[in-house]
Chain A
Protein backbone atom coordinates (compact mmCIF):
# COMPACT_ATOMS: atom_id res chain seq x y z
CA UNK A 1 0.00 0.00 0.00
CA UNK A 2 1.46 3.30 -0.98
CA UNK A 3 1.32 6.12 1.52
CA UNK A 4 0.54 9.33 -0.22
CA UNK A 5 2.55 12.12 1.27
CA UNK A 6 0.17 14.77 2.31
CA UNK A 7 1.92 18.11 2.61
CA UNK A 8 -0.64 19.47 5.04
CA UNK A 9 0.51 16.92 7.59
CA UNK A 10 3.49 17.81 9.72
CA UNK A 11 3.36 14.93 12.15
CA UNK A 12 1.83 11.56 11.49
CA UNK A 13 1.86 9.40 14.63
CA UNK A 14 1.35 5.71 13.97
CA UNK A 15 0.73 3.03 16.60
CA UNK A 16 2.87 4.79 19.15
CA UNK A 17 3.44 2.90 22.39
CA UNK A 18 5.69 4.10 25.19
CA UNK A 19 6.84 2.53 28.44
CA UNK A 20 8.58 3.90 31.52
CA UNK A 21 10.29 0.70 32.62
CA UNK A 22 7.34 -1.68 32.84
CA UNK A 23 4.60 0.94 33.03
CA UNK A 24 2.96 1.70 29.74
CA UNK A 25 2.35 5.44 29.47
CA UNK A 26 1.12 5.69 25.88
CA UNK A 27 -1.06 3.06 24.24
CA UNK A 28 -1.42 2.79 20.50
CA UNK A 29 -1.61 6.46 19.66
CA UNK A 30 -2.60 7.40 16.11
CA UNK A 31 -3.01 11.03 15.18
CA UNK A 32 -1.94 13.75 12.77
CA UNK A 33 -0.75 17.24 13.43
CA UNK A 34 -1.44 19.68 10.63
CA UNK A 35 0.45 22.61 9.29
CA UNK A 36 -0.52 26.07 10.55
CA UNK A 37 -2.94 24.69 13.06
CA UNK A 38 -3.03 24.71 16.82
CA UNK A 39 -3.48 21.23 18.20
CA UNK A 40 -4.45 21.13 21.85
CA UNK A 41 -3.78 18.07 23.98
CA UNK A 42 -6.02 17.79 27.02
CA UNK A 43 -6.64 15.23 29.71
CA UNK A 44 -6.34 14.71 33.47
CA UNK A 45 -2.97 14.60 35.27
CA UNK A 46 -0.97 11.49 34.49
CA UNK A 47 -2.87 10.74 31.28
CA UNK A 48 0.30 10.86 29.17
CA UNK A 49 -0.21 14.22 27.46
CA UNK A 50 3.15 15.65 28.54
CA UNK A 51 4.84 12.36 27.72
CA UNK A 52 3.28 12.50 24.25
CA UNK A 53 4.39 16.03 23.43
CA UNK A 54 7.92 15.32 24.70
CA UNK A 55 8.05 12.29 22.42
CA UNK A 56 7.46 14.51 19.38
CA UNK A 57 10.94 16.05 19.77
CA UNK A 58 12.38 12.98 21.51
CA UNK A 59 12.98 14.96 24.68
CA UNK A 60 11.48 12.00 26.52
CA UNK A 61 14.62 10.00 25.78
CA UNK A 62 16.45 11.97 28.45
CA UNK A 63 14.68 9.69 30.91
CA UNK A 64 16.81 6.53 30.85
CA UNK A 65 14.11 3.89 31.32
CA UNK A 66 11.95 5.02 28.37
CA UNK A 67 11.20 2.59 25.54
CA UNK A 68 9.09 3.32 22.48
CA UNK A 69 7.41 1.35 19.72
CA UNK A 70 5.71 2.53 16.57
CA UNK A 71 6.44 5.44 14.28
CA UNK A 72 6.21 9.18 14.35
CA UNK A 73 6.57 10.54 10.83
CA UNK A 74 7.77 14.11 10.66
CA UNK A 75 7.28 15.30 7.07
CA UNK A 76 7.33 11.66 6.10
CA UNK A 77 10.50 10.66 7.98
CA UNK A 78 10.33 8.49 11.07
CA UNK A 79 11.91 10.49 13.89
CA UNK A 80 13.15 7.29 15.53
CA UNK A 81 15.08 6.43 12.39
CA UNK A 82 18.88 6.40 12.62
CA UNK A 83 19.17 8.94 9.78
CA UNK A 84 17.23 11.47 11.86
CA UNK A 85 19.64 13.26 14.15
CA UNK A 86 17.95 14.33 17.33
CA UNK A 87 19.78 17.69 17.18
CA UNK A 88 18.32 18.34 13.73
CA UNK A 89 14.83 17.34 14.80
CA UNK A 90 14.95 19.69 17.78
CA UNK A 91 16.23 22.52 15.63
CA UNK A 92 13.13 22.19 13.46
CA UNK A 93 10.80 21.49 16.33
CA UNK A 94 11.06 24.09 19.09
CA UNK A 95 9.77 23.64 22.60
CA UNK A 96 8.37 25.90 25.30
CA UNK A 97 8.23 24.44 28.77
CA UNK A 98 5.83 24.54 31.68
CA UNK A 99 7.96 26.77 33.85
CA UNK A 100 9.66 29.73 32.15
CA UNK A 101 13.28 28.62 31.89
CA UNK A 102 15.44 31.44 30.55
CA UNK A 103 19.20 31.06 30.92
CA UNK A 104 20.81 33.18 33.63
CA UNK A 105 22.14 35.46 30.90
CA UNK A 106 21.02 38.69 29.24
CA UNK A 107 17.84 38.93 27.15
CA UNK A 108 20.09 39.33 24.10
CA UNK A 109 22.09 36.18 24.90
CA UNK A 110 18.93 34.20 25.60
CA UNK A 111 17.29 34.94 22.27
CA UNK A 112 20.47 34.45 20.28
CA UNK A 113 21.55 31.25 22.03
CA UNK A 114 19.97 29.04 19.35
CA UNK A 115 21.21 30.95 16.29
CA UNK A 116 24.71 31.15 17.79
CA UNK A 117 25.03 27.44 18.51
CA UNK A 118 23.82 26.77 14.99
CA UNK A 119 26.64 28.87 13.63
CA UNK A 120 25.17 32.30 12.84
CA UNK A 121 28.06 34.70 13.41
CA UNK A 122 27.25 37.74 11.30
CA UNK A 123 26.29 40.59 13.63
CA UNK A 124 23.68 42.12 11.31
CA UNK A 125 21.88 38.78 10.91
CA UNK A 126 21.95 38.23 14.66
CA UNK A 127 20.47 41.69 15.33
CA UNK A 128 17.77 41.03 12.78
CA UNK A 129 16.87 37.64 14.29
CA UNK A 130 16.82 39.26 17.73
CA UNK A 131 14.36 41.93 16.69
CA UNK A 132 12.02 39.74 14.65
CA UNK A 133 11.93 37.01 17.31
CA UNK A 134 11.17 39.45 20.10
CA UNK A 135 8.55 41.20 17.96
CA UNK A 136 6.90 37.89 17.07
CA UNK A 137 6.79 37.03 20.75
CA UNK A 138 5.19 40.44 21.49
CA UNK A 139 8.02 41.34 23.81
CA UNK A 140 10.08 43.80 21.77
CA UNK A 141 8.45 47.00 23.02
CA UNK A 142 8.87 45.96 26.63
CA UNK A 143 12.54 45.01 26.44
CA UNK A 144 14.11 46.91 23.54
CA UNK A 145 15.79 49.39 25.90
CA UNK A 146 17.26 46.74 28.17
CA UNK A 147 18.38 43.95 25.89
CA UNK A 148 21.56 43.45 27.89
CA UNK A 149 19.85 43.15 31.27
CA UNK A 150 19.62 39.76 32.90
CA UNK A 151 16.53 37.80 31.88
CA UNK A 152 15.77 37.05 35.53
CA UNK A 153 14.75 40.67 36.00
CA UNK A 154 11.67 40.09 33.82
CA UNK A 155 8.26 39.08 35.18
CA UNK A 156 7.10 35.48 34.85
CA UNK A 157 4.91 36.24 31.85
CA UNK A 158 7.69 38.20 30.14
CA UNK A 159 10.12 35.34 30.84
CA UNK A 160 7.75 32.90 29.18
CA UNK A 161 7.41 35.15 26.13
CA UNK A 162 11.21 35.41 26.11
CA UNK A 163 11.35 31.62 26.01
CA UNK A 164 8.94 31.69 23.07
CA UNK A 165 11.14 34.30 21.35
CA UNK A 166 14.15 32.09 22.04
CA UNK A 167 12.38 29.15 20.42
CA UNK A 168 11.34 31.29 17.44
CA UNK A 169 14.91 32.55 16.94
CA UNK A 170 15.93 29.09 15.74
CA UNK A 171 13.23 29.53 13.05
CA UNK A 172 11.50 26.22 13.67
CA UNK A 173 8.68 24.64 11.78
CA UNK A 174 6.73 23.32 14.77
CA UNK A 175 6.47 24.70 18.29
CA UNK A 176 5.61 22.31 21.09
CA UNK A 177 4.26 23.90 24.24
CA UNK A 178 3.98 21.95 27.47
CA UNK A 179 1.43 23.80 29.63
CA UNK A 180 3.09 27.13 28.88
CA UNK A 181 0.68 29.21 30.98
CA UNK A 182 0.28 27.00 34.05
CA UNK A 183 2.76 29.10 36.05
CA UNK A 184 1.33 32.45 34.92
CA UNK A 185 -1.39 34.83 36.12
CA UNK A 186 -4.54 35.42 34.01
CA UNK A 187 -3.27 38.59 32.32
CA UNK A 188 0.02 36.99 31.28
CA UNK A 189 -1.94 33.93 30.17
CA UNK A 190 -4.19 36.04 27.96
CA UNK A 191 -1.14 37.60 26.32
CA UNK A 192 0.38 34.21 25.57
CA UNK A 193 -2.91 32.94 24.14
CA UNK A 194 -3.14 35.98 21.88
CA UNK A 195 0.43 35.32 20.83
CA UNK A 196 -0.28 31.67 20.00
CA UNK A 197 -3.14 32.78 17.79
CA UNK A 198 -0.89 35.14 15.85
CA UNK A 199 1.93 32.57 15.54
CA UNK A 200 -0.39 30.10 13.87
CA UNK A 201 0.08 31.83 10.51
CA UNK A 202 3.75 30.86 10.38
CA UNK A 203 4.09 27.84 12.64
CA UNK A 204 2.36 24.61 13.50
CA UNK A 205 1.72 24.53 17.22
CA UNK A 206 0.98 21.69 19.54
CA UNK A 207 0.02 22.66 23.06
CA UNK A 208 -0.59 20.62 26.18
CA UNK A 209 -3.01 22.35 28.49
CA UNK A 210 -4.75 21.70 31.75
CA UNK A 211 -7.42 24.21 31.01
CA UNK A 212 -10.26 23.15 28.76
CA UNK A 213 -11.31 26.75 28.30
CA UNK A 214 -7.86 27.46 26.94
CA UNK A 215 -8.06 24.52 24.53
CA UNK A 216 -11.48 25.78 23.42
CA UNK A 217 -10.24 29.32 22.90
CA UNK A 218 -7.05 28.75 20.98
CA UNK A 219 -7.05 25.38 19.23
CA UNK A 220 -8.26 24.09 15.88
CA UNK A 221 -7.93 20.45 16.80
CA UNK A 222 -8.18 18.83 20.20
CA UNK A 223 -6.87 15.47 21.36
CA UNK A 224 -8.25 14.02 24.58
CA UNK A 225 -5.94 11.62 26.39
CA UNK A 226 -6.97 9.34 29.23
CA UNK A 227 -4.71 6.83 30.98
CA UNK A 228 -2.31 6.68 28.07
CA UNK A 229 -4.98 6.30 25.43
CA UNK A 230 -6.06 8.78 22.82
CA UNK A 231 -9.76 8.69 23.48
CA UNK A 232 -10.87 11.23 20.95
CA UNK A 233 -9.27 13.49 18.40
CA UNK A 234 -10.94 15.94 16.07
CA UNK A 235 -12.01 19.48 15.41
CA UNK A 236 -12.17 21.48 18.60
CA UNK A 237 -15.76 22.67 18.07
CA UNK A 238 -16.93 19.11 17.56
CA UNK A 239 -15.07 17.76 20.58
CA UNK A 240 -16.48 20.47 22.81
CA UNK A 241 -20.03 20.56 21.46
CA UNK A 242 -20.69 17.03 20.36
CA UNK A 243 -18.12 14.50 21.62
CA UNK A 244 -18.48 10.95 20.36
CA UNK A 245 -17.09 9.26 23.42
CA UNK A 246 -18.85 9.28 26.80
CA UNK A 247 -15.50 9.73 28.60
CA UNK A 248 -14.69 12.87 26.61
CA UNK A 249 -18.08 14.30 27.46
CA UNK A 250 -17.61 13.49 31.15
CA UNK A 251 -14.22 15.16 31.21
CA UNK A 252 -15.29 18.25 29.30
CA UNK A 253 -18.38 18.79 31.39
CA UNK A 254 -16.20 18.50 34.48
CA UNK A 255 -17.56 15.23 35.83
CA UNK A 256 -14.04 14.04 36.55
CA UNK A 257 -10.44 15.17 36.21
Chain B
Protein backbone atom coordinates (compact mmCIF):
# COMPACT_ATOMS: atom_id res chain seq x y z
CA UNK B 1 0.00 0.00 0.00
CA UNK B 2 1.36 3.35 -1.08
CA UNK B 3 0.03 5.29 1.90
CA UNK B 4 2.27 3.38 4.34
CA UNK B 5 5.35 4.76 2.65
CA UNK B 6 4.28 8.39 3.07
CA UNK B 7 2.51 8.28 6.44
CA UNK B 8 4.06 7.23 9.74
CA UNK B 9 2.45 4.64 12.03
CA UNK B 10 0.49 7.11 14.13
CA UNK B 11 -0.90 8.91 11.14
CA UNK B 12 -1.88 5.59 9.60
CA UNK B 13 -3.71 4.59 12.77
CA UNK B 14 -5.45 7.91 12.82
CA UNK B 15 -6.58 7.41 9.25
CA UNK B 16 -8.08 3.98 9.92
CA UNK B 17 -9.41 4.69 13.39
CA UNK B 18 -12.99 5.47 12.50
CA UNK B 19 -13.31 3.24 9.53
CA UNK B 20 -15.73 0.34 9.86
CA UNK B 21 -14.60 -0.97 6.49
CA UNK B 22 -11.22 -2.54 7.13
CA UNK B 23 -9.00 -2.59 4.11
CA UNK B 24 -8.08 -6.14 3.22
CA UNK B 25 -5.09 -5.94 0.94
CA UNK B 26 -5.43 -9.50 -0.33
CA UNK B 27 -8.99 -8.81 -1.36
CA UNK B 28 -7.98 -5.73 -3.32
CA UNK B 29 -5.22 -7.62 -5.11
CA UNK B 30 -7.62 -10.44 -5.95
CA UNK B 31 -10.20 -8.11 -7.41
CA UNK B 32 -7.60 -6.43 -9.57
CA UNK B 33 -6.56 -9.86 -10.86
CA UNK B 34 -10.15 -10.92 -11.59
CA UNK B 35 -10.66 -7.73 -13.52
CA UNK B 36 -7.62 -8.49 -15.66
CA UNK B 37 -8.83 -12.02 -16.39
CA UNK B 38 -12.27 -10.76 -17.35
CA UNK B 39 -10.74 -8.29 -19.75
CA UNK B 40 -8.69 -11.03 -21.44
CA UNK B 41 -11.72 -13.35 -21.79
CA UNK B 42 -13.84 -10.64 -23.32
CA UNK B 43 -11.20 -9.52 -25.75
CA UNK B 44 -10.56 -13.15 -26.77
CA UNK B 45 -14.19 -13.59 -27.77
CA UNK B 46 -13.85 -10.59 -30.04
CA UNK B 47 -10.62 -11.94 -31.49
CA UNK B 48 -12.33 -15.28 -32.18
CA UNK B 49 -15.07 -13.60 -34.23
CA UNK B 50 -12.51 -11.54 -36.11
CA UNK B 51 -10.36 -14.62 -36.88
CA UNK B 52 -13.32 -16.50 -38.34
CA UNK B 53 -14.20 -13.49 -40.48
CA UNK B 54 -10.60 -13.11 -41.62
CA UNK B 55 -10.37 -16.79 -42.60
CA UNK B 56 -13.62 -16.51 -44.54
CA UNK B 57 -12.48 -13.38 -46.34
CA UNK B 58 -9.10 -14.96 -47.12
CA UNK B 59 -10.74 -18.13 -48.50
CA UNK B 60 -13.19 -16.39 -50.79
CA UNK B 61 -10.65 -13.71 -51.66
CA UNK B 62 -8.03 -16.23 -52.81
CA UNK B 63 -10.63 -18.38 -54.59
CA UNK B 64 -12.00 -15.48 -56.55
CA UNK B 65 -8.62 -14.19 -57.77
CA UNK B 66 -8.56 -14.30 -61.54
CA UNK B 67 -12.30 -14.86 -61.70
CA UNK B 68 -13.54 -11.53 -60.42
CA UNK B 69 -13.03 -9.08 -63.27
CA UNK B 70 -14.99 -6.74 -65.49
CA UNK B 71 -16.08 -9.57 -67.75
CA UNK B 72 -17.47 -11.50 -64.83
CA UNK B 73 -19.75 -8.60 -63.99
CA UNK B 74 -20.96 -8.02 -67.55
CA UNK B 75 -21.26 -11.55 -68.95
CA UNK B 76 -24.39 -13.62 -68.95
CA UNK B 77 -24.73 -16.93 -67.24
CA UNK B 78 -23.11 -19.91 -68.97
CA UNK B 79 -22.64 -23.57 -68.23
CA UNK B 80 -18.94 -23.10 -69.02
CA UNK B 81 -17.38 -21.62 -65.88
CA UNK B 82 -14.79 -19.52 -67.72
CA UNK B 83 -17.51 -17.88 -69.80
CA UNK B 84 -20.00 -17.36 -66.97
CA UNK B 85 -20.88 -13.97 -65.54
CA UNK B 86 -23.39 -12.49 -63.14
CA UNK B 87 -24.96 -9.78 -65.30
CA UNK B 88 -28.35 -11.46 -64.99
CA UNK B 89 -28.05 -11.81 -61.22
CA UNK B 90 -27.00 -8.18 -60.78
CA UNK B 91 -29.89 -6.92 -62.90
CA UNK B 92 -32.21 -9.32 -61.07
CA UNK B 93 -31.07 -8.03 -57.68
CA UNK B 94 -31.35 -4.38 -58.77
CA UNK B 95 -34.88 -4.89 -60.15
CA UNK B 96 -35.81 -6.78 -57.00
CA UNK B 97 -34.71 -3.79 -54.93
CA UNK B 98 -36.74 -1.48 -57.14
CA UNK B 99 -39.78 -3.34 -55.80
CA UNK B 100 -38.56 -3.82 -52.24
CA UNK B 101 -37.39 -0.25 -51.54
CA UNK B 102 -40.55 1.74 -52.35
CA UNK B 103 -42.98 -0.87 -51.03
CA UNK B 104 -41.09 -1.41 -47.77
CA UNK B 105 -40.42 2.27 -47.22
CA UNK B 106 -43.95 3.52 -47.91
CA UNK B 107 -45.84 0.82 -46.05
CA UNK B 108 -43.29 0.53 -43.23
CA UNK B 109 -43.05 4.25 -42.49
CA UNK B 110 -46.82 4.69 -42.78
CA UNK B 111 -47.35 1.89 -40.28
CA UNK B 112 -44.87 3.48 -37.89
CA UNK B 113 -46.52 6.92 -38.23
CA UNK B 114 -49.91 5.39 -37.50
CA UNK B 115 -48.70 3.47 -34.47
CA UNK B 116 -46.73 6.33 -32.97
CA UNK B 117 -48.80 9.39 -33.84
CA UNK B 118 -52.39 8.33 -34.43
CA UNK B 119 -53.12 5.10 -32.58
CA UNK B 120 -54.36 5.55 -29.04
CA UNK B 121 -52.33 3.88 -26.35
CA UNK B 122 -54.61 0.94 -25.60
CA UNK B 123 -53.89 -2.69 -24.73
CA UNK B 124 -54.75 -3.78 -28.28
CA UNK B 125 -52.24 -1.30 -29.69
CA UNK B 126 -49.57 -2.58 -27.32
CA UNK B 127 -50.35 -6.11 -28.47
CA UNK B 128 -49.94 -5.07 -32.13
CA UNK B 129 -46.69 -3.28 -31.35
CA UNK B 130 -45.20 -6.30 -29.60
CA UNK B 131 -46.23 -8.58 -32.44
CA UNK B 132 -44.61 -6.38 -35.06
CA UNK B 133 -41.37 -6.73 -33.14
CA UNK B 134 -41.99 -10.49 -33.01
CA UNK B 135 -42.49 -10.60 -36.78
CA UNK B 136 -38.96 -9.28 -37.18
CA UNK B 137 -37.64 -12.53 -35.72
CA UNK B 138 -39.77 -14.94 -37.77
CA UNK B 139 -37.43 -17.17 -39.86
CA UNK B 140 -37.14 -15.99 -43.44
CA UNK B 141 -38.09 -19.39 -44.89
CA UNK B 142 -41.55 -18.96 -43.37
CA UNK B 143 -41.94 -15.62 -45.14
CA UNK B 144 -40.88 -17.47 -48.29
CA UNK B 145 -43.71 -19.97 -47.82
CA UNK B 146 -46.16 -17.12 -47.21
CA UNK B 147 -44.96 -15.43 -50.40
CA UNK B 148 -45.25 -18.68 -52.35
CA UNK B 149 -48.81 -19.27 -51.15
CA UNK B 150 -50.07 -15.70 -51.44
CA UNK B 151 -48.12 -13.92 -54.18
CA UNK B 152 -46.93 -16.98 -56.13
CA UNK B 153 -50.08 -19.12 -56.15
CA UNK B 154 -53.08 -17.03 -55.06
CA UNK B 155 -52.20 -13.89 -57.02
CA UNK B 156 -50.58 -16.08 -59.66
CA UNK B 157 -47.37 -14.08 -59.84
CA UNK B 158 -45.27 -17.26 -60.02
CA UNK B 159 -41.60 -16.79 -59.32
CA UNK B 160 -41.42 -13.39 -60.95
CA UNK B 161 -39.44 -10.39 -59.73
CA UNK B 162 -42.69 -8.89 -58.46
CA UNK B 163 -43.48 -11.94 -56.33
CA UNK B 164 -39.90 -12.05 -55.00
CA UNK B 165 -39.85 -8.32 -54.25
CA UNK B 166 -43.16 -8.37 -52.41
CA UNK B 167 -42.08 -11.39 -50.39
CA UNK B 168 -38.77 -9.79 -49.40
CA UNK B 169 -40.58 -6.58 -48.57
CA UNK B 170 -42.84 -8.50 -46.16
CA UNK B 171 -39.76 -10.02 -44.59
CA UNK B 172 -37.91 -6.79 -43.88
CA UNK B 173 -40.88 -4.51 -43.23
CA UNK B 174 -40.97 -5.18 -39.46
CA UNK B 175 -37.39 -3.90 -39.24
CA UNK B 176 -38.37 -0.68 -40.98
CA UNK B 177 -41.48 -0.30 -38.83
CA UNK B 178 -39.59 -0.80 -35.56
CA UNK B 179 -36.67 1.47 -36.49
CA UNK B 180 -39.02 4.18 -37.82
CA UNK B 181 -41.04 3.95 -34.62
CA UNK B 182 -37.86 4.50 -32.62
CA UNK B 183 -36.92 7.47 -34.79
CA UNK B 184 -40.38 9.03 -34.45
CA UNK B 185 -40.42 8.40 -30.71
CA UNK B 186 -37.07 10.18 -30.40
CA UNK B 187 -38.56 13.43 -31.74
CA UNK B 188 -39.04 15.52 -28.60
CA UNK B 189 -42.64 16.21 -27.71
CA UNK B 190 -42.07 19.93 -27.18
CA UNK B 191 -41.59 20.32 -30.93
CA UNK B 192 -45.00 18.77 -31.60
CA UNK B 193 -46.54 21.00 -28.92
CA UNK B 194 -45.06 24.10 -30.54
CA UNK B 195 -46.70 23.15 -33.81
CA UNK B 196 -50.08 22.22 -32.31
CA UNK B 197 -49.95 25.47 -30.33
CA UNK B 198 -50.02 27.42 -33.58
CA UNK B 199 -53.10 25.65 -34.81
CA UNK B 200 -51.39 23.01 -36.94
CA UNK B 201 -53.24 19.78 -37.55
CA UNK B 202 -51.72 16.43 -36.72
CA UNK B 203 -50.73 15.64 -40.28
CA UNK B 204 -49.19 19.09 -40.82
CA UNK B 205 -47.19 18.59 -37.63
CA UNK B 206 -46.04 15.15 -38.74
CA UNK B 207 -45.07 16.36 -42.20
CA UNK B 208 -43.38 19.63 -41.24
CA UNK B 209 -41.93 18.88 -37.81
CA UNK B 210 -41.80 15.19 -36.92
CA UNK B 211 -40.64 13.64 -40.20
CA UNK B 212 -37.86 16.17 -40.97
CA UNK B 213 -36.35 15.43 -37.55
CA UNK B 214 -36.95 11.67 -37.74
CA UNK B 215 -35.92 11.08 -41.35
CA UNK B 216 -32.21 10.31 -40.73
CA UNK B 217 -33.18 7.62 -38.22
CA UNK B 218 -35.82 6.26 -40.56
CA UNK B 219 -33.35 6.15 -43.45
CA UNK B 220 -30.73 4.37 -41.35
CA UNK B 221 -33.21 1.62 -40.51
CA UNK B 222 -34.47 1.44 -44.08
CA UNK B 223 -30.98 1.04 -45.55
CA UNK B 224 -30.08 -1.67 -43.03
CA UNK B 225 -33.27 -3.55 -43.83
CA UNK B 226 -32.66 -3.28 -47.56
CA UNK B 227 -29.13 -4.61 -47.18
CA UNK B 228 -30.69 -7.57 -45.39
CA UNK B 229 -33.16 -8.05 -48.26
CA UNK B 230 -30.33 -8.07 -50.84
CA UNK B 231 -28.62 -10.93 -49.03
CA UNK B 232 -31.71 -13.05 -48.33
CA UNK B 233 -31.72 -16.44 -50.02
CA UNK B 234 -34.21 -18.75 -48.33
CA UNK B 235 -37.49 -16.99 -49.26
CA UNK B 236 -36.43 -16.82 -52.91
CA UNK B 237 -35.46 -20.48 -52.98
CA UNK B 238 -38.86 -21.38 -51.54
CA UNK B 239 -40.55 -19.20 -54.17
CA UNK B 240 -38.94 -21.46 -56.78
CA UNK B 241 -36.44 -19.19 -58.47
CA UNK B 242 -34.97 -21.36 -61.25
CA UNK B 243 -31.46 -22.72 -60.87
CA UNK B 244 -30.23 -21.84 -64.29
CA UNK B 245 -31.62 -18.94 -66.23
CA UNK B 246 -29.89 -17.59 -69.28
CA UNK B 247 -32.24 -14.74 -70.08
CA UNK B 248 -31.66 -11.34 -68.52
CA UNK B 249 -34.95 -10.09 -67.03
CA UNK B 250 -36.53 -7.10 -68.74
CA UNK B 251 -39.76 -6.62 -66.79
CA UNK B 252 -40.91 -7.22 -63.24
CA UNK B 253 -43.07 -10.11 -64.41
CA UNK B 254 -40.05 -12.06 -65.73
CA UNK B 255 -38.37 -14.94 -63.98
CA UNK B 256 -35.03 -13.94 -62.59
CA UNK B 257 -32.05 -14.86 -60.50
CA UNK B 258 -30.42 -12.76 -57.80
CA UNK B 259 -26.92 -12.59 -56.32
CA UNK B 260 -27.49 -14.77 -53.21
CA UNK B 261 -29.40 -17.33 -55.28
CA UNK B 262 -26.54 -17.49 -57.75
CA UNK B 263 -24.10 -18.14 -54.90
CA UNK B 264 -26.36 -20.85 -53.54
CA UNK B 265 -26.76 -22.77 -56.79
CA UNK B 266 -23.13 -22.46 -57.85
CA UNK B 267 -22.10 -23.81 -54.46
CA UNK B 268 -24.51 -26.75 -54.86
CA UNK B 269 -23.10 -27.57 -58.28
CA UNK B 270 -19.48 -27.50 -57.14
CA UNK B 271 -19.63 -31.31 -56.88
CA UNK B 272 -20.00 -31.57 -60.65
CA UNK B 273 -17.95 -28.57 -61.75
CA UNK B 274 -15.28 -27.59 -59.19
CA UNK B 275 -14.68 -24.20 -60.87
CA UNK B 276 -18.15 -23.10 -59.80
CA UNK B 277 -16.68 -22.64 -56.31
CA UNK B 278 -14.53 -19.82 -57.69
CA UNK B 279 -17.53 -18.22 -59.34
CA UNK B 280 -19.47 -18.42 -56.07
CA UNK B 281 -16.53 -16.83 -54.23
CA UNK B 282 -16.36 -14.01 -56.75
CA UNK B 283 -20.11 -13.41 -56.40
CA UNK B 284 -19.78 -13.38 -52.60
CA UNK B 285 -17.19 -10.61 -52.91
CA UNK B 286 -19.57 -8.57 -55.09
CA UNK B 287 -22.42 -9.06 -52.61
CA UNK B 288 -20.27 -8.28 -49.56
CA UNK B 289 -18.90 -5.09 -51.08
CA UNK B 290 -22.48 -3.97 -51.84
CA UNK B 291 -23.59 -4.70 -48.27
CA UNK B 292 -20.58 -2.97 -46.69
CA UNK B 293 -21.20 0.10 -48.83
CA UNK B 294 -24.86 0.25 -47.83
CA UNK B 295 -24.08 -0.18 -44.15
CA UNK B 296 -21.40 2.49 -44.42
CA UNK B 297 -23.96 4.90 -45.91
CA UNK B 298 -26.36 4.09 -43.06
CA UNK B 299 -23.64 4.80 -40.47
CA UNK B 300 -22.66 8.07 -42.17
CA UNK B 301 -26.28 9.27 -42.20
CA UNK B 302 -26.70 8.32 -38.55
CA UNK B 303 -23.51 10.09 -37.44
CA UNK B 304 -24.23 13.20 -39.45
CA UNK B 305 -27.66 13.64 -37.97
CA UNK B 306 -26.85 13.32 -34.29
CA UNK B 307 -28.41 16.47 -32.93
CA UNK B 308 -28.92 17.71 -29.43
CA UNK B 309 -31.97 19.68 -28.45
Residues on A close to B: CB < 8 A? 57, 59, 62, 64, 87-92, 94-95, 97, 99, 101-105, 113-114, 117-118, 152, 163, 166-167, 170
- Given known pairs A64-B121, A113-B208, the reply for A59 and B196 (CB within 8 Å) is yes
**How near does chain B come to A183, taking the closest CB pair, in angstroms?**
11
**How near does chain A come to B120, taking the closest CB pair, in angstroms?**
6
Residue of A nearest to B188 (CB): A101
30 residue pairs bridging A and B, Cβ less than 8 Å apart = A57-B197, A59-B193, A62-B196, A64-B120, A87-B200, A87-B201, A88-B199, A90-B196, A90-B197, A90-B199, A91-B199, A94-B198, A95-B197, A97-B193, A97-B197, A99-B190, A103-B195, A104-B191, A104-B212, A105-B212, A113-B195, A114-B199, A114-B200, A117-B195, A117-B198, A117-B204, A118-B199, A166-B198, A167-B198, A170-B198
**How near does chain B come to A67, taking the closest CB pair, in angstroms?**
15
Interface residues of B in 164-222 (CB under 8 A from A): 188, 190-191, 193-201, 204, 208-209, 212-213
Please, how many angstroms separate the alpha-carbon atoms of A88 and B198 in the complex? 9
Provide the residues of chain A in CB contact with B209, threshold 8 Å.
Answer: 103
Interface residues of B in 90-131 (CB under 8 A from A): 120-121
Please, how many angstroms separate the alpha-carbon atoms of A167 and B200 in the complex? 12
Please, how many angstroms separate the alpha-carbon atoms of A163 and B193 in the complex? 12
Provide the residues of chain B in CB contact with A103, threshold 8 Å.
Answer: 191, 194-195, 209
- The reply to whether A104 and B198 form a contact with Cβ atoms under 8 Å apart is no
B17 in contact (CB, < 8 A): no
B307 in contact (CB, < 8 A): yes
**How near does chain B come to A154, taking the closest CB pair, in angstroms?**
13
B80 in contact (CB, < 8 A): no
- Main SS of the interface on chain B? helix
**How near does chain A come to B130, taking the closest CB pair, in angstroms?**
19
Please, how many angstroms separate the alpha-carbon atoms of A253 and B309 in the complex? 38
Contacts beyond the supplied A90-B198, A114-B200, A152-B309: 19 A-B pairs with Cβ under 8 Å? A62-B196, A64-B120, A64-B121, A87-B201, A91-B199, A92-B199, A95-B193, A95-B197, A97-B194, A101-B188, A103-B191, A103-B195, A105-B212, A114-B199, A117-B195, A117-B200, A118-B199, A166-B198, A167-B197
Provide the residues of chain A in CB contact with B190, threshold 8 Å.
Answer: 97, 99, 101
Q: Which one of A104, A113, A163 contacts B307 once the chains associate, using CB atoms below 8 Å?
A: A104
**How near does chain A come to B224, taking the closest CB pair, in angstroms?**
24
Residue of B nearest to A91 (CB): B199
- The reply to whether A59 and B307 form a contact with Cβ atoms under 8 Å apart is no
- The reply to whether B200 and A104 form a contact with Cβ atoms under 8 Å apart is no
**How near does chain B come to A119, taking the closest CB pair, in angstroms?**
11
Residue of A57, A101, A114, A167 with most chain B CB atoms under a 10 A cut-off: A101
Provide the residues of chain A in CB contact with B194, threshold 8 Å.
Answer: 97, 101-103, 163, 166
The 5 closest A-B pairs by CB, nearest first: A91-B199, A95-B197, A90-B199, A101-B190, A114-B198
Please, how many angstroms separate the alpha-carbon atoms of A97 and B195 in the complex? 12
Q: Which one of B121, B193, B212, B307 contacts A101 once the chains associate, using CB atoms below 8 Å?
A: B193
Please, how many angstroms separate the alpha-carbon atoms of A103 and B198 in the complex? 13
Interface residues of B in 112-153 (CB under 8 A from A): 120-121
Please, how many angstroms separate the alpha-carbon atoms of A170 and B197 in the complex? 10
**How near does chain B come to A52, taking the closest CB pair, in angstroms?**
16
Please, how many angstroms separate the alpha-carbon atoms of A104 and B201 in the complex? 19
Please, how many angstroms separate the alpha-carbon atoms of A107 and B228 in the complex? 40
**How near does chain B come to A4, taking the closest CB pair, in angstroms?**
29
